[in-house]
Structure formats: C-alpha cells, structure tokens
Amino acid sequence: MQQFLEDAKNANKIISTLSGDIKNKVLNKMANALVENKDYIISQNLKDIEAGQRAQLSSALMDRLLLSDERIQSMATAIREIASLKDPVGRVLDGWVTEIGLNIQKTSIPIGVIGIIYESRPNVTSDTAALCFKSGNVCVLKGGKEAEFSNKAIAKVLREVLISNNLPVNAISLLPDSSREGVANLIKQDKYVDLIIPRGGEALIKFVSENATVPVVKHDKGLCHTYIDKGANPQMAIDISINAKCQRPGVCNAMETLLIHKDIASKILPPLYEAFIEENTQLLGCDKTREFLDIKKATEDDFNTEYLENILSIKTVNNIDEAIEHIAKFGSGHSECIISENYGAVNEFLDKVDAACVYANASTRFTDGGAFGFGAEVGISTNKLHARGPMGINDLTTYKFKIFGQGQIR
Amino acid sequence: MQQFLEDAKNANKIISTLSGDIKNKVLNKMANALVENKDYIISQNLKDIEAGQRAQLSSALMDRLLLSDERIQSMATAIREIASLKDPVGRVLDGWVTEIGLNIQKTSIPIGVIGIIYESRPNVTSDTAALCFKSGNVCVLKGGKEAEFSNKAIAKVLREVLISNNLPVNAISLLPDSSREGVANLIKQDKYVDLIIPRGGEALIKFVSENATVPVVKHDKGLCHTYIDKGANPQMAIDISINAKCQRPGVCNAMETLLIHKDIASKILPPLYEAFIEENTQLLGCDKTREFLDIKKATEDDFNTEYLENILSIKTVNNIDEAIEHIAKFGSGHSECIISENYGAVNEFLDKVDAACVYANASTRFTDGGAFGFGAEVGISTNKLHARGPMGINDLTTYKFKIFGQGQIR
C-alpha cells in the first residue's frame, strides 16, 4: 500500500503540470482505445454478469452492470466531452498588486491524489478517471465488487494509453486492496491522499466520515422538500410536485415531503391526490392534511425518511415560517423548493433555507451537474465546505498564491 | 453541551440573515463597549496576570497576556476596521441562465457555527468574535486557560451589546467546558458545528485532525524554504534570506532551510555567513555547503525541523530540480521562495512547487492576511481544501445555489 501510494504521489508531480493541449490529446486517445478494445472489455464484463447471475442480483442491478457496444460508445463520448471542457487548471481566480508592489495571483491548481469510492456502474470508472486526468489529479479508484472485472478491464485500457504516451501509469489506478480494510487504510493516508469522495449508501458515507483523516467531500442523502405557498399557481404546484416526486423517485434530488400552506390546501390537495394516485404514489399526511384526504397518518419518522420510492409525506403548515422550520429540522441541506408567485415569500424562502440548492418554481430534480450546464458529472456534494451542491470539474481544483516580488522584505 | 450547541444553532438562524448595515452598527457598538468597559476588563485581566506570575509563566507569555488601556483601544480599532470591510455575505460568485431558462445564482452565505480553538492573546477573542459576526457566523470560542478571566470579561462585554440590540446572545460564546474532554466533545458535534479552526501547537492540531468529524481548517506548521538560484541577484539573495530567517524567527512564515545553487554558492555563502553571524543565527550545512563554510553538519532531521528560532539549515543543490525535490520532500506546503532573475527558473519554481504561497524575489514573511491586504487576520490555512494560505473574511463563508424558475420540470 505504501509503495502504491508513493507511486501515485510521484505520478501527481508529472500529471499536475501537463498542458491542457496534451491532456486533451491523451483523453481523446483514451476514448478511441475504449472503442478499439470493446470486445475485450465486454468479455471481461461477461465475467461480472455471470457472477451477478450466480449471486442472483436484482434485474435493476444487472442492467446497471451490463456493458454493450452502445454503452462503451457512450463512455467514449463522455471522455471526448470532458476533453472539450475548458482546462480547470491555471485559471487566475483573483489577483492584485499590494501597496508595496507584491504582484499576487491566486491560481487554480490540481488537488493532488483523489480517492474515489463508488458502487455503481462501470462507466463511472472511465468518467471519473477522465475527470481527474483533465483536472490534473491522480485518481485511486475503488469501485463496487460486482463490477470488478469490468473496472479492471477499463482501467487497463486507459492505463495503456498513459504508457504509450510516456505518462506515469499510476495516474489512474484501482485500489489494490478493495476490502473494507483497504478502504479504512486509504482514508487515513493524509500524507499521500488529498481528498476522498465517497459515493454510495449511507453506511459507506458514515464509515468514511467517521474514520477518515483525509478531507472528505460527501455525497450524502437528499431529504428534499417542496413547499406550496398560499401564493402558488395551482397548476404549476401540481406539475412540479408530481415531477419532483415521480419522474425518478430513486434519486437524491427527488422530493420526499410536500409542505402546503393551509390557505391553499383545500384547493390543491384533492387534484394533487388524484394526480399522485395516477402515478401509483402512496401518500401519508399530518392530521390537518387528513381533513382533506383519506390517507394514512405521517409520523415524525416518516418526515425523517428518504423514501427513494413512490411514497410521499405531506404536511399542511400555518405559514411560510413553519415550512422553513420544518425544513431546518428534517432537511438534509440538499435541494428545497418553494412554489409561489409572491415576491416576498420567494425571497424569504431562498434566503432563510440553508441548503445547497434552493429553488423557486422549478423541480428539485434539476440538482445535477448536467442540468446546471457543468457538462460532466463529478457528483453532488452535501458538504458545506470546498464544494457544495452539483460539482463541476472546477471543483476538482484548489489554488495557490503566486507572489511576484522585486526584492521586498519586511 | 447539547443545549449550549442548540442555542448556538438557533442563534445562527438570526445572525446569518442580518443585513450588513445592522452588523456594522452592532460592531461599532461593540468597539465602543470595549473602551467603555476597559476598567472592568483590565481588572479581570489582572487575575490572569496574578495567576500567571504564580505559575511563573515566561516574560514573553506574560507580555502577550497583559491588557492595557492602549491594547484595549487597539482591540476596538480592529473591530471598527472589521466593520468597515465589505460584507462577505451575499456576494454573487457566479450566475447564469441555463438553456431551459433556469436562472442560477451562486451566492455566498455564512458557514454557520464555527468553533475556534486558540491559545494566545486575549485580543484574539474580540478579533475572532468580530470576524465571525461580520461574516454572519456564530462562534464558539475556546481560548487558552491562562487568559480565562480576560476572555470571559471580553466575551461578557460583547454579549451585552448583542442583548441590548435584541440579538441572540449565543451568537458569541465561550465553550463552557474548556477541558481537553470539552474540546474532544466539540469537534465531534457535526450536527451542530460546521467548522473547527484550531490555532495552536502541533499537539493540538494533531489531536483535532485525528479526532474531529467536523471539517477542520488547520493552521499547521510552516517549514519554509528559500532557494537561491544561480541566476539570483546576490545582494537581493542576502537581504531576503536574512529577512526571511531573522526578522521574526518564531513565526510560521519564517525560513527554516536555505537552498542554494552550487554555481553561485562560493560567491554568496561567505557574505551570507557574515550577515547571519551578525544576526546571531546558528548555521548548519550539508557536506557541499561545509566546503565553503566552517559550520556543523545538517542532518536529515535538521532539514525536517521547524526551528522557530535563530537556527538555519543550508543545502547546496546541483540544480533547480533538486531544490524542488527537496521542498517536495521536506516542505510543509506553507510558503516557499525562489530568488532568481531568470524567467524560466522563476516560472518553473512557481508552477512545480506545491505550497499555499510560492514567492519569486520576496520574503516568505509576507504570508499573512495583513500583508496580502485582506485587512483582518483570520489565520493562515495549511489545508488544501476550502481555504489555503492567508485567510480573508470571505473564507468564513460558503455558498448556496439560488435557482429561479418559471415552472420548469424534467
């Protein structure tokens, strides 16, 4: 492990100072290499598929695991898109000349060595490797066990491109010991590793947060609310609510709790109920809500639950303050929305609610790098520091101050 | 503790949304209150002074502890200067309209509740409280035991201003349990505390880094180098080296190791030696350096030591690459300097050396908020993430995305 991390650190010295031009050429070669080696990758993927069948993985999981010609083409396209992004390294973020003539330049630089722990699809391996390479970072990847052969094959193809371009092969590597102990070891290596990004279930995030000495950018849960203000446009309120809950219930930016102002509840709740029934969504409500709808009671536990499925808790509130308080108590700081045509209510909500993304009159489902126009998905941070909310490739950089003097002393 | 932190969190809701105007008025009242209550503060300070005398604290420490009319005036002036800074909250950091018309605003907001652990002078209590208040943050302060009565008196005066302005008194508070256990407890309260800033000795920093689950911005050691390139202006090389080492050896941005190119060593080392002797500085050198100077040998341990006193290690290197490698191995990522009139060498050094501040032809002693023109001293971060190097008041903010829609759904 020590030697492995020293190799990563050494690779960092070369990778961090590559010009944008070279990085882009290499990325495009990586994209080509994935396509050229697709038969090899698919043959290795087959081993994961067979192991998955033996382990009787769910069909959803099997679908995420499966690689095809088309999916490998998409992976290549994603890398080419990353190549086409503006270089995140070397941006002058700020600059000034001090009174005694020191010329100070605050310049973006790569973070260094980034450990990324993920569970999902094999394409995350190539996406993440490309994002780190483009931003001048070395990546240590730890993918899910169920995709082991696929991830190894993808990393092998990418690493061969590094070798044939005389670049350090360890700029992209898989964590050699992918056990829980291996991860526990990695997240304490602050001498070598500059950042850990865990993407996965609550147990993984908790384990990493509690045990890491390396800084962590978390991708934690999203317990998102939509608040229908008394000043809401009723049809918009229904459309956004249905979209936020039902368009893709299993993701972190989907709505889990609907809050509604008492003055508009009688008008909106009945048609909203009809619309949710049509979407096969189960509704739970507070006592006040149940005066309008014949649904089961929502408990404190329900308001505290990220369902990630077709279940919705509803609470009728007396005023906007009660909505904001409910969100402060139960929200996870991810994405929160107000639906209102009232100028003051919108401003109050957007100012007072503490979350990465606060929406007026749009679905919380827009919280992701693609919808924000970042062009590549690094993830969605639930940290308050370093990066918050949808992460663009610029969030894979830090900065240094360059100071140009002419002999100044104190 | 739980109730204390809940009070802090609740205070945060009010403080975070105050207008700049109100914050500045209250800060100026705090400055006035310090001056009006100077007799009370000095009487409490006397208790610390007496305890310090009984404990036979060093005269340097006693001097740092002592408050006088003049020093309280300075504390008030510092608060007025903080009031005069531009509001760090509500800056629009970025903004754009997406293709489907979502108007996205990335806006700076307060971090929340910040725990600050420090050892030194009582004026840090008022400075820090004012910086946090100005940036809309709640602070939980844990000062040194030797300044206990002084800190309590200062906090009491500031808190009375909060009360008389109908603001939550818990926006500024001292950690009730100031024992090691109290600190250990505080740094694990991620539910309530958003950031810990430890300022102090290595043991404190290590303890906090290893045990905190709350994010930490460290103020760690500075093992700073100055590299005299073969293209250096000799007189400038000597002036900067003497300044970087001797002007104030006990601080983190002072030089600890001098690196010198072999081609210029014979010309510069003898006069440099004379100049350092005049400053009562002890020199240690590598074998190559000792060919020019009659000094003791510098061991690997010496190159790894932050002396913080009048001792300097010197290494003669074959080329700039060896200097950069030495810094990568022994540097602490704080402040590093090249002295050279050679354009290529300066650029190579500034690009390749990974440190918060990289200097060309200026003393590393300039690494601080004041010299950078930030106007108020939050500290010097040795983190790579969130804030790096001298921290201005803007570094006490994070951001949220405000998204203004017109009914958009996915």
Q: Which of A35-44, A360-369, B120-129 is least confident?
A: B120-129
Structure tokens that stand for B161 in this block: 């201003």
**DSSP secondary structure code for residue A86 in this structure:** P
pLDDT in tens, B75-86: 999 999 999 999
For B407, the closest of A16, A240, A388 (CB atoms) is: A240
What average pLDDT does the segment B294-316 reach? 97
pLDDT band at A24; cut points 50, 70, 90: very high
- Among B195, B244, B373, beta carbon nearest to A385: B195
Domains of chain A, residue spans: 2-220+382-404, 224-370
**Can you give the pLDDT at residue B178?**
84
Q: Do A236 and B407 touch (CB under 8 A)?
A: yes
SS (H, E, C) chain B: CHHHHHHHHHHHHHHCCCCHHHHHHHHHHHHHHHHHCHHHHHHHHHHHHHHHHHCCCCHHHHHHHCCCHHHHHHHHHHHHHHHHCCCCCCCEEEEEECCCCCEEEEEEEECCEEEEECCCCCHHHHHHHHHHHHCCCEEEEECCHHHHHHHHHHHHHHHHHHHHCCCCHHHEEECCCCCHHHHHHHCCCCCCCCEEEEECCHHHHHHHHHHCCCCECCECCCCEEEEECCCCCHHHHHHHHHHHHHCCCCCCCCEEEEEEEHHHHHHHHHHHHHHHHHCCCEEEECHHHHCCCCCEECCHHHHCCCCCCCEEEEEEECCHHHHHHHHHHHCCCCEEEEECCCHHHHHHHHHHCCCCEEEEEECHHHCCHHHHCCCCCCEEECCCCCCCEEECHHHHEEEEEEEEEEEECC
Cβ-defined contact of A210 to B213 (cutoff 8 Å): yes
pLDDT at A96: 97
Query: How confident is the model at residue A114, as a pLDDT?
Result: 97
Instruction: Work out the mean pLDDT of chain B and round it to a whole number.
Output: 95
- Confidence (pLDDT) at B212: 92
Say whether pLDDT at A120 is over 80. Answer: no
Q: What is the pLDDT of residue A223?
A: 97
Tell me how far apart the alpha carbons of residues B277 and B62 are, in angstroms, rounded to a whole number.
30
The CATH number of B2-220+382-404, from 3.40.605.10, 1.10.10.10, 3.40.1160.10, 3.40.50.720, is: 3.40.605.10
pLDDT in tens, B338-369: 999 999 999 999 999 999 999 999 999 999 99
Whether A384 and B112 have beta carbons less than 8 Å apart is answered as: yes
Q: pLDDT-derived band of residue B121, with 50, 70 and 90 as boundaries?
A: confident
Using a cut of 0.95, tell me whether the model's pTM lies above it. Answer: no
Listed range (A116-130, A132-146, B157-171, B273-287) with the worst mean pLDDT = A116-130
The CATH number fitting domain A224-370, selected from 2.60.120.10, 3.40.309.10, 3.40.50.11060, 3.40.228.10 = 3.40.309.10
Average of per-residue pLDDT across A188-213: 90
pLDDT greater than 90 at residue A25: yes
CB-based contact (8 Å) between A364 and chain B? no
CA distance B177 to chain A (A): 23
Instruction: Compare CB distances from B409 to A243, A328, A350 and report the shortest one's residue.
Output: A243
CB < 8 Å from A in window 190-209 of B: 190, 194-195, 209
What 3-state DSSP class applies to A406?
strand
Q: Which amino acid is at A9?
A: K
pLDDT at B377: 77
Average pLDDT, integer, range B169-178: 94
Nearest-neighbour CA in chain B from A35: distance (Å): 31
pLDDT digits (tens, 9 = 90+) for B96-106: 999 999 999 99
Residue A27 CB partners (closer than 8 Å, separation 6+): A79, A80, A82, A83, A130, A133, A134
* Long-range contacts from A42-51, C-beta under 8 angstroms, 24+ separation: A42/A67, A42/A68, A42/A69, A42/A72, A44/A149, A44/A150, A44/A152, A44/A153, A45/A122, A45/A149, A45/A150, A45/A153, A47/A149, A48/A122, A48/A146, A48/A147, A48/A148, A48/A149, A48/A150, A51/A146
Closest chain B residue to the Cα of A210, Cα to Cα: B213
**pLDDT value for A220:** 84
- Chain B residue closest to A356 (CA)? B400
- The answer to whether residues B233 and A407 touch, using CB atoms and an 8 Å cutoff, is yes
- For the ranges A368-377, B110-119, B218-227, B332-341, the lowest mean pLDDT is seen at A368-377
Q: What is the ipTM of this complex?
A: 0.94
Say what percent of chain B tops pLDDT 90.
91
- Measured between beta carbons, which residues in chain A are less than 8 angstroms from residue B215? 215, 383-385
> Can you give the pLDDT at residue A377?
77
Q: Which of A23-27, A204-208, A252-256, B137-141 has the lowest mean pLDDT?
A: A204-208
- Asked if the C-beta of B233 comes within 8 angstroms of chain A's C-beta atoms, the answer is yes
Percent of chain B with pLDDT over 70: 100
Residue A1, pLDDT above cutoff 90? no
Question: Average pLDDT for residues B103-130, to the nearest whole number?
Answer: 94
Least Cα separation, residue A397 to chain B (angstroms): 9
Q: Chain A residue with minimal CA distance to B381?
A: A400
pLDDT above 90: residue A41:
yes
Mean local confidence (pLDDT), A376-401: 92
Does B360 sit within 8 Å of A404, measured CB to CB? yes
Cα B265 to Cα B242: distance, rounded to the nearest angstrom: 16
Q: Which of A358, A367, A368, A363 is closest to A336 using CA atoms? A: A358
Of the pLDDT bands very low, low, confident and very high (cuts 50, 70, 90), residue B37 is: very high
